Amino acid sequence: MRKIGLVLAIGVMLGTSIGCYRLLLGGLFAAQAAAPISDQQEIAIGQAGVEQILAKPENRLYREPRVNAYVSEVGGEMARQTGRANLPWQFFILESPQKNAFSLPGGKIFVTTGILRSMDNRAQLAGVLGHEAGHIGARHGIAELKRALLARGVLISALGDTPMAGQIAGRLAAELVLRGYGRQAEFEADELGATYSSKANYDPRQLEIFLSDLGKSGESPAWLSPLETHPPIKERIERLENFIQKKNLGGSRIEAIPFKADMAPLGKND
């Protein structure tokens, strides 16, 4: 009963479809047994997370077409570098002054208007989206989910084969991946973001510059430190700089002026 109570205590209901619930449930059963989770199951888990995020009144989508098209275009460039082009990649902008970006399994990436306003050029956007695409490409969210389920001994099967069980499974999956990643996953995502940027001919050092600018801002941007497990900004910058030099990564695209023109609808920083 304690295990059932632990599952029931997590979050709000998602209201997923029966088909989605079965995919989610199957994926979580596989995670408990440390078996692979299929792309289809991963996509369902990510979609459940999106539904949970957008169900919260404070999470309002920024719908200006020009900015959304721009972010999706750059995000698509990064997604193509991951080797997971089969995923239904989607890029969402949330209206928030917070400087934040995060990703869910299955190709779902969110950025805030606050973090977009903090950027100076297209290459910095590519670096941030590349970082989040790196989490998805490396399946960091799925790995975290599997570890957490096994560590907690959560037995979804104890709830029975019901729609409620599927809703709880989706809720649990979304919460776990939204908590953030550990140090090594963040370092790897930084490196993948720089690598993807370079492959698309962007200057990979712009990610390093953006991280440095955020660190100098005097704030604690949500993108850098949502959890104590995130590495300090100085350490991230040093490791990223060494990685770029070691791998001899390069790229000529920066595109500051076009970026500022396309981001103009966002207005200035608050």
Q: In the chain, pLDDT over 70 holds for what percent of residues?
A: 70
Query: Judging by DSSP bridges, how do beta strands 101-104 and 108-112 pair with one another?
Result: antiparallel
* Alpha carbon distances (Å) from 25 to 2, 9, 34, 181, 214: 20, 17, 14, 23, 39
Return the sign of the alpha-carbon dihedral for residues 168, 103, 78, 74.
positive
**Confidence (pLDDT) at 142:** 82
Q: Are 258 and 125 in contact (CB under 8 A)?
A: no
Per-residue pLDDT at 244 exceeds 80: yes
Q: Please state, rounded to an integer, the average pLDDT across all residues of the chain.
A: 80
Quick count: other Cβ atoms within 10 Å of Cβ 187?
Answer: 17
**Confidence (pLDDT) at 183:** 86
**Confidence (pLDDT) at 152:** 59
Q: pLDDT tens-digit profile of 177-236?
A: 567 688 899 999 999 999 999 999 999 999 999 999 988 876 667 777 544 446 678 889
- pLDDT category at 161 given cuts 50, 70, 90 is very low
Measured CA to CA, the distance from residue 99 to residue 214 in angstroms comes to 9
- pLDDT category at 49 given cuts 50, 70, 90 is confident
More confident residue, 26 or 41: 41
Per-residue pLDDT at 19 exceeds 90: no
Least confident of 35-49, 106-120, 231-245: 35-49
Indicate the pTM of the whole model: 0.81
**Confidence (pLDDT) at 223:** 77
Q: Which residues have a catalytic role annotated?
A: 132
More confident residue, 66 or 227: 66
**Confidence (pLDDT) at 42:** 81
Distance of CA 194 to the CA centre of its chain: 16
| Contact partners, residue 117, CB within 8 Å, separation at least 6 | 263, 266, 267, 268, 269, 270
Mean pLDDT of 36-65: 86
Per-residue pLDDT at 88 exceeds 60: yes
Per-residue pLDDT at 117 exceeds 70: yes
Measured CA to CA, the distance from residue 211 to residue 51 in angstroms comes to 30
Which of 15-24, 103-112, 240-249 shows the highest mean pLDDT? 240-249
Which of 43-52, 77-86, 138-147, 160-169 shows the highest mean pLDDT? 77-86
Per-residue pLDDT at 176 exceeds 60: yes
